[in-house]
Amino acid sequence: MSKSRTLGAVAVLATLTLTGCGALQPGAAVEVGDETISVSRIDQVAADFCSAIEPQLEAEAETIPHGFFRSGIAGTLALRSASEQLADEFGVEADSDQYLQAMAELRQGIQAVPEDYRESVIEVESAPQYVEAVQAAVGEVLLDGEGEYADFVAAGAEEFETWLAENDVEFDPTLNTTIKDGVIGPEDGALSFAVSELAVNGQAEEPNAVTARLLPATQRCGR
């Protein structure tokens, strides 16, 4: 699993965010439609993901703030949840040939990752392909099977954005994450404001390895 692919997955996912103004339930990190994703689940997936790639980061003398993982993973799990709920509504599954092939390649590519962490890595890394596969399945229903794969994805993506607009997706403000127009990104309206350069870099869209190394060991991943 390459560093560029790993950071790319988290960064892209960290660009998808939805905003909300209501109060979340205690212990909730994200509320997506009828589902709630707990803070403990976000923390567990983030910890697993960090543990999975830490040897690689240390070998390359790289350091990433845990906050970068938590925000991106919160957005990732929110998108997966929204896609799952959309799939349920249409009675479809993510079973396109493209998705199944991507999953097979991903599982093969993470054989070196300790088994305890693999499912968390798969959940994060496969999210973009999963979302697309659901969109393709939904689009095929909407178009009555008339068209090519790209047509199905386009129709499904439009329906997905409609679903997001019609359903509440709300993040804990401390995650500094939001979904806008079907894309995950940082939310400038976080409750806690960065009061130092270190804090600013910890909340940046791209991790700063130099300042990340100044964080306590419990707040960083890598060397």
pLDDT of 1 reads 55
How many angstroms separate the CA atoms of 155 and 159, rounded? 6
Q: Which residue has the higher pLDDT, 161 or 17?
A: 161
Q: What is the pLDDT of residue 53?
A: 81
Q: What is the pLDDT of residue 19?
A: 38
Amino acid 116: pLDDT: 94
Amino acid at residue number 48:
D
Stated pTM of the model:
0.76
Q: Quick one: tokens of 204?
A: 């940046």
**Average pLDDT of the segment spanning 66-90:** 90
pLDDT band at 213 (very low <50, low <70, confident <90, very high): low
Q: Which residues constitute the domain of residue 172?
A: 3-222
Could you write out the DSSP letters of every residue in 137-194? HHHHHHTTT-S-HHHHHHHHHHHHHHHHHHS-EEE-GGG-EEEETTEEEE-TT-SSPP
Average pLDDT over every residue of 195-214: 43
Decide which of 173 and 207 is more confident. 173
Write down the mean pLDDT value for the chain.
79
Q: Does the pLDDT value for residue 14 go beyond 60?
A: no
Q: Residues 168-204: pLDDT tens digits? A: 889 988 888 887 767 777 765 443 333 323 333 334 4
In this predicted structure, what is the pLDDT of residue 85?
Answer: 97
Average pLDDT over residues 105-124: 93
Model confidence band, residue 72 (pLDDT cutoffs 50, 70, 90): confident
Q: What is the pLDDT of residue 64?
A: 76
pLDDT at 151: 98
pLDDT above 90 for 20: no
CATH of the domain at 80: 1.10.4030
Widest pairwise Cα distance in the chain:
56
Query: In 3-state terms, what secondary structure has residue 36?
Result: strand
Structural domain count of the chain: 1
State the average pLDDT over residues 107-131: 93
CA distance 80 to 18: 13
Look at 171 and 61; give whichever has higher pLDDT: 171
Handedness of CA 165, 187, 78, 21 (dihedral sign): negative
Q: What is the pLDDT of residue 57?
A: 75
pLDDT of the residue at 189: 43
